[in-house]
Amino acid sequence: MEARLFLTYDDEQLAEAVLKAVSPDNMDLPPYLSVETTRSGKQVITHVRCEEKRFGTFISTIDDLLRCVSVAEKALSNILTRAPAHTVLENTAEEK
């Protein structure tokens, strides 16, 4: 069994950040299971392959990957939308 997941982002930096966030999960897999994640421009591409008929493992692996992607996207969104702390401190200092 195999699946390819294609996730497209607004820019290459965001795609690279998601790639780096989920890549550590691609290690220490059983020999019958492989997960390869790469980036091509604004796309993160993951190829999941299960050599044995372990449908539950296959689906769980994809589910785990998508959960990790979701957490990475939420974290990156929070980082990108939050004003830097030093800006708030500078504004406070100016008001005194």
33-40/43-50 β-pairing: antiparallel
- At 81, which CATH number? 3.30.310.50
Q: Which pLDDT value is given to residue 17?
A: 93
Domain that holds residue 87: 2-95
Q: Is the pLDDT of residue 80 over 70?
A: yes
- Report how many domains make up the chain: 1
- If you average pLDDT over every residue of the chain, what do you get? 84
Q: How far apart are CA 25 and CA 96, in angstroms?
A: 48
**pTM score, two decimals?**
0.76
45-68 burial, b at 16+ Cβ within 10 Å, e below that, comes to: bbebebeeeeeebbeebbeebeeb
* Other beta carbons within 10 Å of 77: 11
Single-letter amino acid, residue 63: D
Q: What is the pLDDT of residues 13-39, one digit of tens each?
A: 999 999 999 886 557 888 999 999 999
What stretches of the chain show up as alpha helix (H) in DSSP? 12-22, 55-81, 85-95
Q: What is the pLDDT of residues 38-79, one digit of tens each?
A: 999 999 999 999 998 899 999 999 999 999 999 999 998 888
